[in-house]
Amino acid sequence: MTYENLLIQEEGSILLLTINREQAMNALNTATMLELKRFFEEDAPNRHHIRGIILTGAGERAFVAGADIKEFLALDASEGAAMAQRGQDIFFLIENFYKPVIAAVNGFALGGGCELAMACHLRIAGEKARFGQPEVNLGIIPGYGGTQRLVQYIGKTKAMELILTADMIGAEEAYRLGLVNYVVPAGEEVAKAKELLTKIIEKGPIAIAKVIESVNAYYLHDVDGFAHEVEAFGYTTGTADFREGAAAFIEKRKPNFQGK
């Protein structure tokens, strides 16, 4: 598949996905959102050799500085709701993707950019990264999941403050609040994400997929997360990967997982 706004680089079993609109600070216009949808819905699932994805933005200034506000100006209420729903659906594809997706946040992650980072499973922030949901400055609210995921990650009290004030926070505060997993020197975001992914992809791929599924189930109102965990645990015990992992543990060797 070819893309106009995404760059794809494979390094062994790790794929680096770059939002490539540096001139627009990697803003998420409609074309870019549809390319993200196509990638996670059609392309990535067929790259069977890929075990994890790193998502970042081109250049040094921005991960994603927001959505393309110019596209919002002609929307009426129903069209705005449809746009928000489409954005949420695309970000759910990322959040529920069965292989780990790590955001390497290399600058501004604002509005839709903060929402995109939060849809990833883990987040690495460069020391110059800035996070925020500034939508109220424009007289609108976050529409791609920001009012929900920010509460999940940092709690209602601080999330309410940040969304109501439109304040930005730096990488260190984002780490203190639990929004990001690591803060690294600027320019080392992708390297740290690769280090983390390398550790993760040594584990059983079916187990990794079931962990993502089960942790996400905690936040689904119509799903009993504990029951989901029981079902997922049972599924993993019936896999060849479990038999290999158990044998390797007993034999004190490194397991050779096959994803079966």
Q: Write down the domain spans for the chain.
A: 6-200, 205-251
Going by DSSP bridges, is the β-strand pair 6-11/52-57 parallel, antiparallel, or unpaired?
unpaired
* Residues forming the active site: 115, 135
Strand order in the sheet with 14-19: 6-11, 14-19, 52-57, 101-105, 122-126, 182-184
Which pLDDT tens digit goes with each residue over 142-179? 999 999 999 999 999 999 999 999 999 999 999 999 99
Q: In whole angstroms, give the CA distance from residue 37 to residue 86.
A: 9
Would you state the pLDDT for residue 71?
Answer: 87
pLDDT of residue 87 exceeding 80, the answer is: yes
How open is the CA angle 16-258-247, to the nearest 5 degrees?
130
Q: Could you tell me the CA-to-CA distances from 257 to 45, 51, 98, 188, 212 in Å, in that order?
A: 19, 12, 16, 30, 18
Would you state the pLDDT for residue 198?
Answer: 96
First-last CA distance in the chain: 27
- Average per-residue pLDDT for the chain: 96
172-177: Cβ within 8 A, 24+ apart: 172/127, 174/125, 174/129, 174/131, 175/125, 177/153
pTM for this model (two decimals)? 0.96
Q: Could you tell me the CA-to-CA distances from 109 to 28, 36, 39, 156 in Å, in that order?
A: 11, 17, 21, 20
| 67 DSSP β-pair partners | 28
CATH superfamily of 6-200: 2-enoyl-CoA Hydratase; Chain A, domain 1 (3.90.226.10)
pLDDT of residue 221 exceeding 90, the answer is: no
pLDDT of residue 1 exceeding 80, the answer is: no
Place of tokens 């409609």: 30
Would you state the pLDDT for residue 83?
Answer: 94
Which pLDDT tens digit goes with each residue over 241-257? 999 999 999 999 999 99
Which pLDDT tens digit goes with each residue over 65-86? 998 888 888 899 999 999 999 9
